[in-house]
Amino acid sequence: MLLEGDLFPNFDLPDQDEKRLTPDSLKGKRTLVCFYPKDDTTGCTAEACGIRGAFPRFSGVTVFGVSPDSPASHRRFIAKYNLPFMLIADEEHFLAEACGVWIEKSMYGKKYMGIERTSFLLDENGKITKVWRKVKPVGHADEVLQALG
């Protein structure tokens, strides 16, 4: 798992419009990277809509959501909830693994691999300044706003 002070890992992944994003896409601005399990599910929708509601107060901060969903799924999710930020398609979970958020989970006694809801706040150089693990979807936007000062 990445820690505060670490550099965010290298990646080359598509956003919802299949535009390739790399760490250079993040340089020069503070960035919030939110890993979430799946588009259009209860918790993920609550988290995304919470960030959408607080988005005007995220002045100067670029926001990316990351999940294993496809660009097409991301486009539908953005359109359905009018999300004002980009979503990265990490279909092979390369970035999730590099960040240490692709973990073994359990539901109803069945084990499977999935994303641990985690957010990273990066400085202008891609260095991690804050990590939120096991994010609670409701209220996360307020936690981020507090960290932004």
Distance separating alpha carbons of residues 53 and 32, to the nearest angstrom: 15
Q: What is the DSSP letter of 122?
A: E
Tell me if residue 34 is catalytic. no
Check: CB of residue 9 under 8 Å from CB of residue 84: no
- The helix/strand/coil state of 70 is coil
Catalytic residue among 34, 44, 49, 99: 44
Q: Which of helix, strand or coil describes residue 139? A: coil
Where in the sequence numbering do the catalytic residues fall? 44
